[in-house]
């Protein structure tokens, strides 16, 4: 039988006095919290996540304290999985892409030449950068990785934008090393959109690629580490070859992961990047890797590199804050996050 609206109001009216005097169920109490309940809920979620992050780091430390040396290979495979490094590499070698008519930069005094090059990584993806070749016999092969907003020419000293002590690729080349300096995806927002629909966003390029890669189980960090490891293959690096990686800021993050994954790398220099990162949620969103912190932190990556040497240099990094201001025609959708000196 269906109650009429009048009958329903009568039933509810009779029930309300009974409900208002009902005793709470055992183990419960009335919800009488003053203030905005939604804000309290968000604050509670934040406290829960802070506790879980701290707990995950503590549990990770205990697991790594008791790990067996024979687990190194399995840890490296797990790291590759967390970075989404599942794309098969493609064949090919180093290609010189010097612009037509552009002279090769060669310094007889310093003893090396500079070439713009690219190399295949996996399907439809290429690495690109600057190759500094010694004019004599090479003493070692080094991958020198700049910060995301630096160019290879800057850390190679080919443009006068950085102080001499920041031109670490140039200094390595002057010591007779073969130095490859890759281009990283930068943090501008020029290409974050589609001309097909004429829709543009203020997403930094790193966030733009990260968001799309996340949907298919890949990561921007994984892409850039794969470029480094593929370059080692193409440059003929083997266990008998002296090889190192050096990176600054975002480049230091990439160098740390590359060295953790590849035992051919004999020595690692990390400048302006190394720490606990327990507040990873305050950093740019492209550094947020699914299930990563349950198993890995910077100390654990260093443990995968050991006993090979790792040099950590504390230095100032260029501050970065997201979201950047939206230019005309750009949608403001970028996530918050900041990079500052640790």
On the question of a cis peptide bond just before residue 323, with omega within 30 degrees of 0, the verdict is: yes
pLDDT score recorded for residue 66 = 83
Residue 173 to residue 300: CA distance in whole angstroms: 31
Element (H, E) at 109: none
Residue 37 has pLDDT above 80, yes or no: yes
Residue 288 CB-half CA count within 13 A: 16
DSSP 156: T
pTM (2 d.p.): 0.87
Q: Which residues pair with 247 in a beta bridge?
A: 145, 270
pLDDT score recorded for residue 65 = 84
Q: What is the pLDDT of residues 177-226, one digit of tens each?
A: 999 999 999 999 999 999 999 999 999 999 999 999 999 999 999 999 99
Question: Do residues 315 and 260 touch, judged by C-beta distance below 8 A?
Answer: no
Question: Do residues 308 and 266 touch, judged by C-beta distance below 8 A?
Answer: yes
Q: Band of the pLDDT at 146, cuts 50, 70, 90? A: very high
322: left (phi over 0), alpha (psi -120 to 50) or beta: beta
Closest CA to 265 of 287, 300, 235: 235
Q: What is the pLDDT of residues 68-109, one digit of tens each?
A: 878 899 999 999 999 999 999 999 999 998 765 555 566 556
pLDDT score recorded for residue 34 = 81
- From residue 12, how far is each of 6, 15, 16, 18, 22 by CA, in Å? 10, 5, 6, 10, 15
pLDDT score recorded for residue 239 = 84
Residue 134 has pLDDT above 80, yes or no: yes
- From residue 8, how far is each of 3, 16, 39, 105 by CA, in Å? 6, 12, 35, 88
Output 99 or 318, whichever has higher pLDDT: 318
Pairing of strands 267-271, 310-313: parallel
Residue 13 has pLDDT above 80, yes or no: no
Q: What is the rounded average pLDDT for all residues in the chain? A: 90
pLDDT score recorded for residue 156 = 93
Residue 96 CB-half CA count within 13 A: 13
The stretch 46-63 carries a mean pLDDT of 89
Residue 223 to residue 210: CA distance in whole angstroms: 10
Question: Do residues 218 and 84 touch, judged by C-beta distance below 8 A?
Answer: yes
pLDDT score recorded for residue 321 = 93
Q: What is the pLDDT of residues 223-250, one digit of tens each?
A: 999 999 999 999 999 888 899 999 999 9
Lowest mean pLDDT among 18-22, 68-72, 168-172: 18-22
């Amino acid at each position: 039988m269906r109650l009429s609206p009048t009958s329903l109001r009568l039933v509810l009216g009779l029930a309300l006095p009974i409900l208002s005097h009902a005793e709470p169920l055992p183990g419960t109490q009335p919800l009488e919290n003053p203030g905005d309940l939604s804000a309290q809920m968000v604050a509670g979620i934040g406290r829960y996540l802070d506790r879980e992050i701290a707990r995950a780091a503590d549990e990770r430390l205990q697991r790594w304290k008791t790990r067996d040396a024979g687990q190194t290979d399995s840890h490296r495979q797990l790291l590759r999985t967390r970075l989404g490094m599942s794309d098969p590499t493609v064949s090919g070698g180093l290609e010189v892409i010097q612009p037509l008519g552009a002279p090769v930069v060669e310094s007889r005094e310093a003893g090396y030449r500079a070439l713009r090059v690219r190399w295949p990584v996996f399907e439809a993806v290429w690495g690109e950068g600057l190759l500094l070749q010694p004019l004599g016999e090479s003493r070692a092969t080094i991958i020198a990785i700049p910060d995301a907003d630096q160019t290879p020419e800057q850390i190679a000293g080919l443009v006068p934008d950085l102080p001499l002590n920041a031109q670490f690729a140039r200094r390595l080349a002057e010591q007779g090393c073969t130095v490859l300096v890759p281009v990283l995806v930068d943090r501008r927002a020029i290409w974050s959109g589609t001309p097909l629909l004429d829709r543009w966003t203020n997403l930094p390029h790193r966030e733009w690629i990260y968001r799309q890669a996340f949907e298919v189980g890949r990561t921007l960090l994984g892409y850039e580490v794969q470029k480094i490891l593929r370059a080692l293959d193409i440059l003929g690096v083997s266990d008998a070859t002296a090889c190192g990686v050096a990176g600054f800021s975002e480049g230091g993050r990439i160098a740390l992961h590359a060295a953790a994954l590849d035992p051919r790398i004999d020595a690692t220099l990390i400048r302006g990047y190394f720490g606990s990162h327990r507040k990873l949620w305050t950093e740019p969103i492209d550094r947020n890797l699914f299930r990563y912190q349950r198993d890995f932190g910077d100390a654990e990556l260093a443990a995968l590199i050991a006993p090979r040497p790792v040099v950590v240099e504390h230095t100032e990094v260029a501050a970065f804050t997201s979201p950047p201001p939206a230019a005309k025609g750009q949608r403001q959708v970028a996530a918050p996050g900041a990079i500052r000196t640790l």
